[in-house]
């Protein structure tokens, strides 16, 4: 059965999925190891490894917390860099809904605060969408010889 999450479906095609799914949960407000584990059904050693990579890369930061009667633990909070991955996940979600569709339709919608439906697109410096056919990738002077 296909996953209801378009991001998960895109990544079944496109690559290693756990990293993006950890970020998906973090964007949804998850911060604790047990909650990541419960949400994703991921093996603890893989989750530990992925969280470590994301902390090392500056996407998540570890914040200590302590509940009464328990030892100190850490939560994982998104950094600004981590929050900027929203547009990457939005693009994966949009592609998955278009090209790896879920039988019941999209399970999550992207909306502005006022309810407008949103997509992900190339935009110019005035914030106006540009047709994909007009987009060029040009090598700069920094491109290696």
In the complex, what is the shortest distance from the CB of residue 38 to a second copy, in angstroms, rounded to a whole number? 15
Q: Which is nearer to a second copy, 39 or 91 (CB)?
A: 91
Member of 2, 8, 19, 38 binding a second copy (CB under 8 A): 19
Integer angstrom CA distances of residue 82 from 6, 100, 143: 20, 25, 26
- Rounded to whole angstroms, the Cα distance separating 126 from 84 reads 19
Output b/e per residue, 68-88; b: 16+ Cβ within 10 A: eeeeeeeebebeeebeebeee
Member of 27, 37, 47, 75 binding a second copy (CB under 8 A): 27
Helix (H) or strand (E) holding 73: strand 73-78
Q: Which is nearer to a second copy, 2 or 32 (CB)?
A: 2
Contact flags string 117-136 toward a second copy, x per CB under 8 A: xxxxxxxxx-xxxx-x-xxx
Give the CB-side neighbour count of residue 52, counting CA atoms within 13 A: 6
Q: Which is nearer to a second copy, 31 or 53 (CB)?
A: 53
Residue ranges that bind a second copy, judged by CB under 8 A = 4, 10-11, 13-20, 27-28, 53-54, 57-59, 81, 83-88, 90-92, 94-95, 98-100, 102, 104-113, 116-125, 127-130, 132, 134-140, 142-144
């Amino acid at each position: 059965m296909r996953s209801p999450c378009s991001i998960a479906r895109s990544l079944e095609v496109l690559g290693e999925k756990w990293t993006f799914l950890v970020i998906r949960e973090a964007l949804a407000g998850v911060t604790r190891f047990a909650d990541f584990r419960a949400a994703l059904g991921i093996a603890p050693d893989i989750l530990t490894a992925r969280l470590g990579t994301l902390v090392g890369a500056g996407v998540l930061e570890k914040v200590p917390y302590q509940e009464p009667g328990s030892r100190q633990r850490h939560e994982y909070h998104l950094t600004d860099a981590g929050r900027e991955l929203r547009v990457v996940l939005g693009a994966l979600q949009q592609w998955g809904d278009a090209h790896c569709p879920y039988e019941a339709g999209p399970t999550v919608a992207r909306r502005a605060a006022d309810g407008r439906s949103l997509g992900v697109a190339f935009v110019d410096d005035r914030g106006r969408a540009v047709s994909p056919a007009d987009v060029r990738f040009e090598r700069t002077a920094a491109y290696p010889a």
